[in-house]
Amino acid sequence: MNEDEIFQIESLTSNVKRLFDEQLTPAEIIAYELDLSHSTKATVFMSQKDELFAFVSGQARVTIGDVRKMLARANLMPHKFLPPKGKPDYFKNLASEYFKQVYPGMTPVSDQDLIYYKTLISQNPSLVEIKNIRSGVIKSFDPNAKNNWRAYKKFNYNKVKIEL
């Protein structure tokens, strides 16, 4: 491991602990500052527990729906978004507020009522657990490419959940 990789891992670890209070220690950085748009970047890393995560940050306001769409276009399929430090019900509370703005006087009955409203929540930076990498190729945003995306790196990952 060279000095740049050590610095990247230490910086990423401190940001994750400071913002998300997660005890995730990156074991390997797969893609550092991968372009997802003109102003949004993602650092994709493998934790020591062999789980894949993306730390997404940008200069502009970014919603969960935006992040989900950008990650999907980069072939990174999101599994779940982690809430900010000290706010375990962050997504549910904000989605309920959006729901009440649209339907005053009503309260959401189940989590199914809030699915759409969770996509409207702004979270910058975001920490996302990745379910799998589609086609084994991570793509990067490139405005000069034909479809605005180009292959960045080949990497196979598929989270398999085994329940006993």
Task: Convert the pLDDT of each residue in 73-83 to its tens digit.
Answer: 999 999 999 99
pLDDT digits (tens, 9 = 90+) for 8-29: 888 888 888 888 877 788 888 9
Q: How confident is the model at residue 162, as a pLDDT? A: 67
Backbone angles phi, psi at 15, to 5 degrees: -65, -40
Residues 6+ apart with CB under 8 A from 78: 54, 67, 68, 71, 72, 128, 129, 130, 131
Contact 76, 68 (CB under 8 A): no
Tell me what the mean pLDDT of segment 49-53 comes to.
91
Q: How confident is the model at residue 155, as a pLDDT? A: 93
Q: How confident is the model at residue 37, as a pLDDT? A: 94
Q: How confident is the model at residue 46, as a pLDDT? A: 92
Distance, CA of 43 to CA of 38 (rounded, Å):
15
Distance, CA of 105 to CA of 80 (rounded, Å):
30
Strands (E), 16-143: 26-35, 40-47, 52-58, 76-82, 126-133, 137-141
Give me 37's structure tokens: 């748009």
The pTM is what? 0.89
Secondary structure (3-state) at 151: strand
User: Average model confidence (pLDDT) for the chain?
Assistant: 89
Going from N- to C-terminal start, the domains of the chain cover: 3-84+123-154, 85-121
Q: How confident is the model at residue 1, as a pLDDT? A: 59
Distance, CA of 59 to CA of 133 (rounded, Å):
25
pLDDT digits (tens, 9 = 90+) for 110-164: 888 899 999 999 999 999 999 999 999 999 999 998 899 999 999 999 987 666 6
Contact 149, 163 (CB under 8 A): no
Bridge partners (DSSP) of residue 43 are 55
2 pLDDT exceeds 80? no
Determine the residue type at 4. D
Distance, CA of 40 to CA of 63 (rounded, Å):
12
Using the structure block, give the residue that is written with the tokens 């779940």: 80
Q: How confident is the model at residue 164, as a pLDDT? A: 65
